[in-house]
Copies of this chain bind each other. A is one copy, B any other.
Amino acid sequence: MDPVDDRPLPEGLSDRLGFLLGRAHAANRRLAEARLAGLGIGVKTIGALTVLADEGPLSQQQLGQRMGVDRTTMVAVTNELDDLRLVTRERNPRDRRAYTLRLTGTGRRLLRRATTAAERAEAEFLAELSPAERQQLKALLRRLIAP
């Protein structure tokens, strides 16, 4: 919803939070995807790696819940992670319906590079704001989505 960026904001919309969030989200995602394109994985895949690095091995559904993603959507994400050998996918011996997704060394290394690239993209997107303002923005957003 945002193919052209270099034009003045419509008065009436520029006070609508939904409009501001939508624009900011779309613009940030475009920039992040461009900066991460060289790594061969998308932002959602990186999100999955981040959670696994953070919380240790998880099942597909547990991982999806942390990310806010449906289990059917997680199938493709997990397949990509597996195909690229970023995780191993073992049956959980305690519950043989579930898989245990475990970060591999390759996954960990890719995550490090991806995190660096993501942080650079983020800094680029936030360039107009001072360090204090960046923290402020994140803190405000965090309070809005905190459970």
By a beta-carbon cutoff of 8 Å, the part of chain A in contact with chain B is 1-29, 32, 43-44, 47, 50-51, 53-55, 65-70, 118, 122, 125-126, 128-129, 133, 136-138, 140-147
Contact = CB atoms under 8 A, between A and B. Distances in A.
A16 B118 contact: yes
> Nearest 9 CB-CB pairs, A to B?
A12-B54, A20-B141, A12-B50, A2-B68, A21-B25, A23-B145, A25-B25, A10-B66, A137-B140
Contacts of A122: 16-18
A98 B13 CA distance: 24
B51 A13 contact: yes
A13 B47 contact: yes
A128 B144 contact: yes
